[in-house]
Structure 1
Amino acid sequence: MRESSTDLFVELPDDSNITDLLLATVSRAPERPLYARKKESGWQDVSGAAFLAQVTAVAKGLMSQGVQPGDAVAVMSGTRYEWTVADLAIWFAGAVTVPVYETSSPSQVQWILQDSGARLAFAGDENKARIIASGAAAAGLDVQVWKLTDDDGTDTLSGLASLGSGVQDAELEAVRSSRGLADAASLVYTSGTTGRPKGCEITHGNFALFAVNVIELLPEMLKQPGARTLMFLPLAHVLARAVQVGCLAAGVTLGHSATAAELVDDMQSLKPTFLLAVPRIFEKIYAGAEAKAQAAGKGRLFETAAATAVAYSEAADRAARGGKGPSPALRTRHALFDRLLYPKVRNAFGGQLKIAISGASPLSPQLCHFFRGAGITVLEGYGLTETTAPASVNTVPLTRVGSVGLPMPGNAVRIAGDGEVLVRGVGVFNGYHRNPEATAEAFSDGWFHTGDIGSLDEDGFLSITGRKKDLLVTAGGKNVAPGPLEEKIREHRLVSQVVVVGEGRPFVGALITLDDEALHAWAAENGLGLNSLQAAEHPKVLAQVQLAVDAANSSVSRAEQIRRFTVLPRDFSLDTGHVTATLKLRRQAVIQDFSAEVEKMYAKQP
């Protein structure tokens, strides 16, 4: 199949906008908790009515400072409740939110402020405030900076809100209602790994139509009584904000977790019923469960339980397609482990998680099957900033493990002649801000060129092979997709990250890092006292990595097989600049920074 589409479930009036969703939710149930704020004493519920009152007060404060409809307002902060307050307040004032990753460099901040023409900015702390002020000065802009703290300082949210006390409700309503579906709601700047970041114009319609339709698409997540979730992804990421708007429209309680490091503890206390995460989170939780079992002398039992979960999920897939479901023996084993071991896996997520959405990068089908077999359905989706994140997603009744699902409602997916994935529909952005050349280059006949390579099966499910620009062409002229090889190698418990190399080279190679937690557990099991530097060269470690490489090689032709690999002594991280804020690999940065290791791999022909 070359094209697949899904009709809209719900349409919205052209003159409506995101703020109407909040007003409707509060009108239906003003006392329902929309947010949970993390305090020292625990989670504190914030009702819809209380949240709306805070949002409108800050919006009036923005108006008092001269912010007008269409103006850009920047937000540079980690994930927190106040970020959400600022976002909605900006929209109530008719303005446009410009998220800035808190990890952005000063030069990136300067460019984003300059390109967006920001009038005002919110900062997560004093350091971010200084970076914004410095960037604004360098860009020749006069930008007011307010801190996203919940104290009573004059330069905080409450201080800004107090300045708006003279703004009348009718004035606020006039600017709030002046925005429609076609108007810009946010300028989201891409990572800029190949040049200056480009500002993607995301409209009210992009966000709002996603929100009202995802409720109907995933009722098991968003229509369940007591549904709640925990947001830990950076709110500068468009997927995080799209899901947040969806939760707002559905009346789902949402808590904020500041970092991935706090996520496990926060899940234990908030106990989410569904979660938006990236593959690295699922990989870490699986590796942690495996390491604990190994340390307790139950490694073989865990392996059997994991294999049972995978087999049970695979059988469920076959049954859904009219094939044979789980055998009586498999059902018996699954029921046994569902009492003995799977609850421990579920408890790692707080004990009440039923569904999780995985995005940003590919998730191993084996892991997907494992978690589903253990009682947590992981639905993989796909999208980019330019598609307001989700262009496609698996659903509870329509799941195909290994794919990224069917197109989102109101969207269509097409596969071009060269295998590139094209998207059009209500989720696709307006274009790049002040960059008509880049916009024209990204579209043809109304279809957005994603830059990803993929395929559609006979039922319209989309699968992604990799980035078009990441395809390697060896010296022998063989095209190699790094993604499937990397994904397969990462299934080994000791492996953390993989970057396949080989552009213009005589054979394919790989840079591999180790998972510290899994390594320490494995070393203890094998009576080895190894630090990271020693492990990268230890024969037993290299033998384990070779097993992972061999498994990956077994699924491809000889010309695509990895002939050599190098184990690096440290993992890729946000601090080293090798992964993004959503834990996605910066492939070119890795290859550049470890060019000496790459050259050494090719110094001697195998």
Structure 2
Amino acid sequence: MKLNPDQPYLHQPVDSLWNTYSFKDVDTMARKIASGLLDQGYQKGDRIAILAKNCAEWIVADLAIMMAGMISVPIYTTASVDTIKHVISHSGATAIFMGKLDETRAAEEACRDLKKIAFPYPTVESEFNWNHWLENYTPLMKIDNPASDNTLTIVYTSGSTGDPKGVVLTHGHLAVGVKGADDFYCAPHNRVLSYLPMAHIAERALVIMGSIYNSVEIFFNESLNTFVQDLHHAQVTIFFAVPRIWTKLQFQVLATQKDADLQPLLVSNQGAMIAAQIREKLGFKHCKVFASGAAPIAPSLLEWYGRIGIDISEGYGMTETGGLVCSNTPFSKERLGGIGIPVKGLEVKLSDQGEILVRGASVFNEYYKNPKATQETFDQGWLKTGDRGVVDENEGWRITGRFKEQFKTAKGKYVAPVPIELLVSENTFIEQVCVTGSGMPQPVALVVLNVENGHKNQEVVDSLNGSLDKLNGELESHERLAALFVIESPWTIENELLTATMKLKRHNIERQYREVLMSTNPSGVVWEADI
């Protein structure tokens, strides 16, 4: 910023018209908002929450909180009333920045007694106004100069069960975490589209903090309806996505041409041109780095993208590690389907039980006000991730599932669902899958089909039957699926079957369908609508 303060930094669309803010603009706005916070009597060390969809003001507010020596508490915009109340109460937040929300009921109820500062968008009625502060406060001249061990933020995990825990991250944790991801920022000048939740550590570390330590322009997605045009406008050089987004983008391609017709073309003399046209249509004409994380992604999907010139680097990290633990960046085809190798500054090893353990300068020290959980999470200085893994000296690390996700069938055999789910996902008609079967004779895969092929027809039925036969031929006898149970409605954040980061809420999914599975004992390909 000091070298080129007038360089464009944040690009915010409002009704599809783009507002651009330079590094200097952002610095000035953040200093004014910091002055506003201090003028209201908030003090160094106070917790200030942020509840808003992605926008330029989110980053400005985050910087202002840092400048004032306060601690940010980001909250997912999809959080329930109870979750928002828990985060506010547990963190002791004294004020909250309110921004764009798809619906305001939960925020209005949960934040009724909290002082609110409204971003310049339609939002919850608030005591203070963002633009009023910008117009009436002068920039804070003497900003906080924190030590590396000072708390920067308390990030509450999205969690698939129970109340979220507050992960205390210092300035040092996030600084080290960003430096460990240097390989992502390979271009002299990088451009990214910000659309994944800013309350999530991936967006916070790789996009927000990454932009502070590297040359990165951030473009914001205004809405789901404008995603495609916003992505094209941004001309991204780096694109991060969760597996479900990669699946949806694949559907977008296959909606115009069947894969059976596309694949021969990609190996023809015109293959390179066709692949380039697909990349350009998706919005990736200028993109150099592609990444996936937050949940396992099927190797078959990575291979499919590789054939159109999109080499997706899988990464793995946790809120507790301040960002990445491992990454397949720079991309290595030999490590396809794995999470790559540990990033700079971190040590990774396996416990005697096969659990991935992590140690390093970006690893957090404590859960806020929860010493018991903190103690249970560490083993002689090593963070216990809860993930099963394997490591190959040349091919890097692979995740084989979470310890708490494995279940025991009626035959007394343990089944790890994730590897089976990745095999099921090879069928391009399938968008979501959850393997379950605790107490049942054999496991069952609950599947949601993509919108384009969600209806029952002979092509889909034949494809699902073929997939079931094929994968059962690859599995151990106790792992073989009794059925593919086709669910009518997708699993979403709103129906509480996905976390805010689009991970499966397995307990909720299993609870919703367990009765029908136990009573019908499905076999083969079964449609929920036929039960």
Q: Judge same fold: TM > 0.5, yes or no.
A: yes
CA distance in 1, matches of 2:153, 2:87: 13
User: Aligned-pair distance for 1:136?
Assistant: 4.6
CA contact (8 A) 2:9 2:21 kept: yes
1:559 counterpart SS class: coil
Secondary structure class of the residue paired with 1:90:
helix
- Residues 448-459 of structure 1 mapped to structure 2, 5 A cutoff: 448-459=383-394
Structure 2: stretches of 5+ with no match in the other structure: 526-531
In the aligned structure 1, how far is the partner of 2:280 from the partner of 2:102?
38
TM-score between the two structures when normalised by the length of structure 1: 0.81
Query: Which deviations, in whole Å up to 9, do the C-alpha atoms of 1:443-468 show, x marking residues without a partner?
Result: 11011111111111123711001111
Match of 2:80 in 1: 105
The one of 22, 26, 32 aligned to 1:51:
26
1:319-330 equivalences under 5 Å are none
Find the aligned partners of 1:481 and 1:53 in 2 and give their Cα distance.
52
Contact 1:72 1:118 in 2 (8 A): yes
Secondary structure, counterpart of 2:256 in structure 1? helix
- Which sits farther off after the overlay, 442-451 or 460-469? 460-469
Distance 1:578 1:455 in 2: 29
Contact 1:58 1:158 in 2 (8 A): no
2:466 — aligned with what? 547
Residue matched to 2:318: 384
In 1, the alpha carbon distance for the partners of 2:297 and 2:422 equals: 8
Q: 1:286 to 1:198 in 2, by over 3 A?
A: same
Q: CA deviation at 1:261?
A: 5.0
1:202 aligns with 2:174: no
Conserved 8 A contact 2:30-2:63: yes
- Report the equivalent of 2:40: 65
The residue aligned with 1:160 is 133
The secondary structure found in structure 1 opposite 2:41 is coil
Letter in 2 for 1:443: F
Q: How many residues align?
A: 520
Alignment counterpart, residue 169 of structure 1, candidates 131, 141, 144: 141
Unpaired runs of 5+ in structure 1?
Answer: 1-25, 309-332, 520-531
User: Do the aligned residues in 1 keep the contact of 2:401 with 2:416 (CA within 8 Å)?
Assistant: yes
The aligned counterpart of 1:559 is 478
Q: How does 1:177-196 map to 2 (within 5 A)?
A: 177=145, 179-196=146-163
Read off the aligned partner of 1:147 and give its amino acid letter: A
Tell me the equivalent position of 2:119.
Answer: 148
Relative to 1, partners in 2 of residues 1:552 and 1:69: Cα closer, same or farther, differing over 3 Å? Answer: farther
Q: Using a 3 Å threshold, how does the CA distance of structure 1 residues 288 and 508 change in structure 2: closer, same or farther?
A: same
- Relative to 1, partners in 2 of residues 1:292 and 1:457: Cα closer, same or farther, differing over 3 Å? same
**1:128, distance to aligned residue in structure 2 (A):** 7.2
Instruction: Give, as a single letter, the amino acid of the residue that structure 1 aligns with 2:9.
Output: L
Structure of higher CA gyration radius: 1
Kept in 2, the 8 Å contact 1:125–1:147? The answer is no
SS at match of 1:366: helix
2:281 alignment partner in structure 1: 347
Alpha-carbon offset, residue 346 of structure 1? 3.8
Q: Is the 8 A contact 1:150 1:156 kept in 2?
A: no
CA RMSD of aligned residues (A): 2.4
**CA separation of 1:123/1:41 partners in 2, compared to 1, >3 Å: closer, same or farther?**
closer
The alpha-carbon deviation at position 115 of structure 1 amounts to: 0.4
In structure 2, the residue matched to 1:225 is: 188
Supply the distance in 2 between the matched residues of 1:187 and 1:155 (Cα, whole angstroms): 23
Greater fraction of residues in helix? 1
The CA deviation at 1:271 is 1.5
Aligned to 1:237: 200
Task: Give the secondary structure class of the aligned counterpart of 1:28.
Answer: coil
Maintained 8 Å contact 1:56/1:92: yes
Q: Deviations over 1:404-428 (max 9, x none)?
A: 0111211111111111111111221
Q: What secondary structure is seen at the aligned counterpart in 2 of 1:589?
A: helix
Partner of residue 250, structure 2 = 286
1:600 aligned residue = 519
Do the aligned partners of 2:188 and 2:215 also contact (CA within 8 Å) in 1? no
Superposed, 1:345-384 pairs within 5 Å as 345-384=279-318
CA 1:430 to 1:128, structure 2 compared with 1: closer, same or farther past 3 Å? farther
Q: Distance in 2 between matches of 1:76 and 1:378?
A: 31
Seen in structure 2, the aligned counterparts of structure 1 residues 374 and 92 have a Cα distance that, compared at 3 Å, is same
Asked if the contact 1:420/1:452 (under 8 Å) is kept, the reply is yes
Q: Distance in 2 between matches of 1:570 and 1:41?
A: 31
Partner Cα separation in structure 1 for residue 523 and residue 2 of structure 2: 71
Residue in structure 1 matched with residue 529 of structure 2 by the alignment: none
The residue number in structure 2 matching 1:528 is: none
Alignment partner, residue 445 of structure 2: 510
Contact preservation (8 Å) 1:62, 1:164: no
> Is residue 297 of structure 2 the alignment partner of residue 337 of structure 1?
no
For the 8 Å contact 2:449–2:486, the answer to whether it is kept is: yes
> Could you tell me how far 1:239 is from its partner in structure 2?
0.8
Does 1 or 2 have the higher relative contact order (CA < 8 Å, sep 6+)?
A: 1
Aligned-partner Cα distance in 1 for 2:502–2:298 = 15
Which whole-Å CA distance do the structure 2 matches of 1:586 and 1:78 have between them?
A: 22
The share of aligned pairs that are identical, in percent, is 30
> TM-score, normalization: structure 2?
0.92
Q: Is the 8 A contact 1:78 1:258 kept in 2?
A: no
Distance 1:553 1:604, change over 3 A: closer
Cα offset for 1:81? 1.3
What is residue 261 of structure 2 aligned with on the other side?
Answer: 301
